[in-house]
Amino acid sequence: SIYNAPMPYSVFFNGGIAFHQGSLSELSHGCIHLSRSAASEFFRSLNRGDVVQVV
């Protein structure tokens, strides 16, 4: 990442912005943090080119 932070299970959707495993109690730099289990499941369920809608 541009912040040299770990981003396990990253799914990028807007340039450098991604869904990924991260602290649920700390702020991100624009990314969407998910729990480890949610990030793993989300990462494994998607294929390149799948549409993800952020509401």
Q: Say how many CA atoms lie within 13 Å of 15 toward its Cβ.
A: 4
Q: How many CB atoms lie within 10 A of CB 40?
A: 14
Task: Write the Ramachandran bin of 9: left for phi over 0, alpha for psi from -120 to 50, otherwise beta.
Answer: left
Question: Could you list the residue range(s) of the whole structural domain that residue 25 is in?
Answer: 1-55
Question: What is the number of domains present in the chain?
Answer: 1
Phi/psi for 51 (5° steps) reads -90, 130
Enter the pTM of the model. Answer: 0.83
pLDDT for the residue numbered 52:
85
Amino acid present at 27 = L
pLDDT for the residue numbered 1:
65
pLDDT digits (tens, 9 = 90+) for 3-53: 788 899 999 988 889 999 999 999 998 999 999 999 999 999 999 999 888
Structural tokens at position 17? 């912005």
